[in-house]
């Protein structure tokens, strides 16, 4: 049993060890390889679920799954190092090699989308994010993550497109609504911001951020009575207010 470039925590490795003991009891020789991770390492739970599912499938149906060659995971690490050195084209080439080896991988698509964002190739970035989310719903959050990157750079239209796609795919989730509200507020579109904050409160009536930000937005609009009402609702639950604004 061997792990390549593993970044799993000790409890995770203990669980994986159980899988491998079961494999060995069945006379199956296996090597564990971690799934490629995002640039900031934000998808570790997703990696763990992927590898756990892969091992379970191998237990139930030996020989059905062909693991990617170990050298592919070295391409992932090399791609990250190239990105850190600002060799974005070199990193892109490695991600595309990974995609040839793992053509259905949502993780590789996300990493390549992130790379294309850094190269300011936005339409290609959006297309790959959609493909990643189509293959694995957990990657719907990729629209918010890279949307945040757009917003930090002041590319508001790109951020809006990504947040709206995230909202379309997660209609009952307050996170894309909050981001759209904040984006509208930060660009002076206060009526739009208020609309998004109100939609958050329809889903989560005691959301502390939405209450305070709605009050701020009404204040910016000169709607002082409505601002006071929003602040009063937030102040009625000080534990929520403290959680929102420590």
pLDDT of residue 83: 87
- Pairwise pLDDT comparison (46 vs 144), residue with the higher score: 144
pLDDT beyond 60 at 38? no
pLDDT band at 17 (very low <50, low <70, confident <90, very high): low
Q: Is residue 224 classed as helix, strand or coil in its secondary structure?
A: helix
Asked whether the beta carbons of 79 and 112 are under 8 A apart, the reply is no
pLDDT of residue 51: 55
pLDDT beyond 90 at 41? no
pLDDT beyond 60 at 52? no
Which of 8-22, 40-54, 64-78, 85-99 has the highest mean predicted lDDT (pLDDT)? 85-99
C-beta neighbour count of 102 within 10 angstroms = 16
pLDDT of residue 40: 38
Alpha-carbon distance of 75 to 19, in angstroms, equals: 26
pLDDT band at 56 (very low <50, low <70, confident <90, very high): low
For residues 158-162, average pLDDT: 94
Least reliable range by pLDDT among 32-41, 119-128, 147-156: 32-41
pLDDT of residue 19: 57
pLDDT band at 243 (very low <50, low <70, confident <90, very high): very low
Asked whether the beta carbons of 178 and 166 are under 8 A apart, the reply is no
Q: What is the pTM of this model?
A: 0.67
Give the Å distances, CA to CA, from 70 to 34, 101, 109: 10, 11, 19
The pLDDT mean for the chain works out to 78
pLDDT beyond 60 at 34? no
For residues 119-148, average pLDDT: 93
Q: Which domains are assigned to the chain? A: 1-67 (no CATH), 69-141 (1.25.40.10), 185-246 (1.25.40.10)
pLDDT of residue 246: 38
Alpha-carbon distance of 134 to 126, in angstroms, equals: 12
pLDDT band at 157 (very low <50, low <70, confident <90, very high): very high
Query: Using CB atoms within 10 A of its CB, is residue 141 exposed (0-12), middle (13-18) or buried (19+)?
Result: buried
């Amino acid at each position: 049993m061997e792990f390549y470039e593993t970044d799993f925590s000790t409890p995770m490795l203990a669980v994986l060890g159980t899988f491998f003991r079961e494999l060995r009891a069945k006379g199956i020789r296996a090597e564990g390889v971690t799934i490629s991770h995002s640039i900031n390492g934000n998808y570790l739970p997703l990696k763990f679920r992927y590898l756990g599912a892969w091992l379970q499938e191998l237990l139930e149906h030996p020989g059905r799954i062909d693991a990617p060659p170990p050298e592919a995971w070295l391409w992932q690490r090399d791609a990250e190092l190239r990105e850190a050195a600002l060799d974005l084209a070199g990193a892109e080439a490695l991600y595309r090699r990974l995609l040839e080896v793992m053509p259905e991988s949502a993780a590789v698509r996300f990493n390549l989308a992130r790379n294309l964002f850094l190269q300011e190739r936005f339409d290609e970035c959006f297309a790959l994010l959609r493909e990643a989310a189509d293959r694995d719903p957990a990657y719907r959050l990729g629209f918010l993550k890279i949307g945040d990157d757009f917003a930090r750079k002041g590319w508001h239209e790109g951020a809006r497109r990504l947040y709206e796609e995230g909202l379309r795919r997660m209609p009952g989730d307050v996170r894309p609504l909050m981001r759209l509200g904040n984006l509208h507020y930060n660009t002076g579109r206060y009526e739009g911001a208020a609309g998004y904050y109100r939609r958050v409160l329809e889903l989560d009536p005691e959301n502390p951020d939405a209450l305070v930000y709605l009050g701020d937005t009404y204040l910016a609009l000169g709607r002082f009575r409505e601002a006071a009402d929003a602040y009063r609702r937030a102040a009625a639950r000080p534990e929520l207010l403290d959680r929102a604004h420590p």
